[in-house]
Amino acid sequence: MKNPKTATQAFENALDDKQVFVLKLFVSGMTPSSIRAVQNIRKICQEHLKNRFELQVIDIYQQPDMAKEEQIVAVPTLIKKLPAPLQQFLGDLSDKEKILVGLNLSPKAPKGRDEMKTQ
Q: Give the span between the Cα atoms of 66 and 44, in whole angstroms.
A: 24
pTM to 2 decimals? 0.76
Q: Give the span between the Cα atoms of 78 and 55, in whole angstroms.
A: 10
Contacting residues for 81 by C-beta, under 8 A, at least 6 apart: 22, 23, 24
Q: Give the span between the Cα atoms of 102 and 119, in whole angstroms.
A: 12
* Residue 71 CB coordination number (10 Å): 9
| pLDDT given for residue 106 in this prediction | 82
> Which regions of the chain are under pLDDT 70?
1-17, 108-119
Percent over 90 (pLDDT), the chain: 71
Taking alpha carbons only, the member of 21, 46, 42 closest to residue 103 is 21
| pLDDT given for residue 109 in this prediction | 55
| pLDDT given for residue 20 in this prediction | 95
What CATH number matches the domain at 20-118, 3.90.105.10, 3.40.190.10, 3.40.30.10, 3.40.50.1000?
3.40.30.10
| pLDDT given for residue 11 in this prediction | 43
